[in-house]
Structure 1
Amino acid sequence: MPSFDVVSEVNQDEVQNALNQANKEITTRFDFKDAGAEIVQEKNDIKLRAVNAFKLKALAEIVLGKLAKRGVSLKNIEQKEPDISSTGKASQTLVIKQGFEGDTAKIIVAAAKATKLKIQAQIQGTDVRVTGKNRDDLQEVMAALRAGVDDFPVAIGFKNFRD
């Protein structure tokens, strides 16, 4: 029976390339000279540090801009509140969201079933598996999900299209 998976994944290579570009930019920019700006990636967290809140905001804009240019959806990037220490140093964490959480997966399943086609959609871990007897029905579901991509809180993709 044909099937495919609806996933929400961020390409870690593109994230690494974007962070490398951002690091190059902050080392060459005059306004970041002696600003103590730092970008560190730890698995699915990106930690930003700067000498003050103004520089931190500029650093976050650079990083988000580079991520967007590399094709990383900003829907999958969650910005935590900046932490400002008593000495004025600022830090912020950007969390990269991978996979669907429970409520988001339910929204995807409901959107797939709303097409009224003969398919089954079920949550499998952090992905949603859609199966059906007819390959054309599955392609229509894909098209419907792509058309409604603005309704979802995270970016979606498709993989494992099998017969």
Structure 2
Amino acid sequence: MAETSSFDVVSKIDIQEVKNAVEQAMKEVRQRFDLKGSKSEIRLEEEKELIVTSEDEYKLKAVLDVLQTKLVKRNVSLKALVYEKVEKALGGAVRQKISLQQGIPSEKAKEISKAIRDGKFKVQAQIQADQVRVQSKSKDELQSVITFLKSQDFGLDLQFLNYR
């Protein structure tokens, strides 16, 4: 009997890399000429969301640009960030919350497994909590599924783990 092989499709970000990017971004914000002396701040709350505050929307956009640059340099995908709308804070300042997306939401997991089924691959895709497990008897078939999923855009940063 042939042994089945599998891999997991997940969407995770390295929180330590996010912390490092936030520290580097804050260091640059304090030193940048156009932001020097401004009350701009980036905070990581409970490892689930970033809160960016600044004096006005122009400076907020500049701080966000610095943050995004630092995240990209640390290999944190910008697809893992979910931006909420800009809101007013105390003293005329503005604030924006950015949620860090960990795991695959159930509707996206259904979309991924449907795409695999529609691709007519000889594999089984199962949704397991916040990930999708793909199984097959053929490792070549699994490789072609990985290539297919990399070519699709589900609005998530997908990683492929536990390939065996």
**Residue type of the alignment partner of 2:41:** E
Q: Which runs of 4+ in 1 moved over 6 A?
A: none
Cα distance, 1:136 vs. partner?
Answer: 1.4
Residues 46, 86 of structure 1: CA spacing in aligned structure 2 closer, same or farther, 3 A cutoff?
closer
- The answer on whether the counterparts of 1:53 and 1:84 sit within 8 Å (CA) in structure 2 is no
TM-score, length-normalised on structure 2?
0.91
- When the two chains are superposed, the root-mean-square deviation of aligned CA atoms in Å is 1.4
Q: 1:153 aligns with which of 152, 155, 162?
A: 155
* Partner residue, 1:131: 135
CA contact (8 A) 1:53 1:88 kept: no
- 1:61-100: per-residue Cα shift (whole Å, max 9, x none)? 2111221222211111111111113631111111111111
> Percent identical across equivalent pairs?
39
1:32 aligns with 2:35: yes
Q: How many residues align?
A: 160
Shift of 1:37: 1.0
Task: Give the match's secondary structure for 2:163.
Answer: strand
Gapped regions of structure 2 (runs ≥ 5): none
| Residues 1:75 and 2:83 aligned together | no
Contact 1:119 1:131 in 2 (8 A): yes
Are 1:45 and 2:35 counterparts? no
Q: CA deviation at 1:7?
A: 0.5
Q: How high is the TM-score relative to the length of structure 1?
A: 0.91
On the 8 A contact 2:12/2:103 being kept in 1, the answer is: yes
1:118 is displaced (CA, Å) by 1.6
The one-letter code of the counterpart of 2:25 is A
Deviation (angstroms), 1:19: 1.1
Unaligned runs of 5+ residues in structure 1 are none
C-alpha contact (below 8 Å) 2:30/2:37 kept by paired residues: no
String of CA shifts for 1:19-73, please: whole Å, max 9, x gaps.
Answer: 1210110111122222111111111211111122221121112111221222211
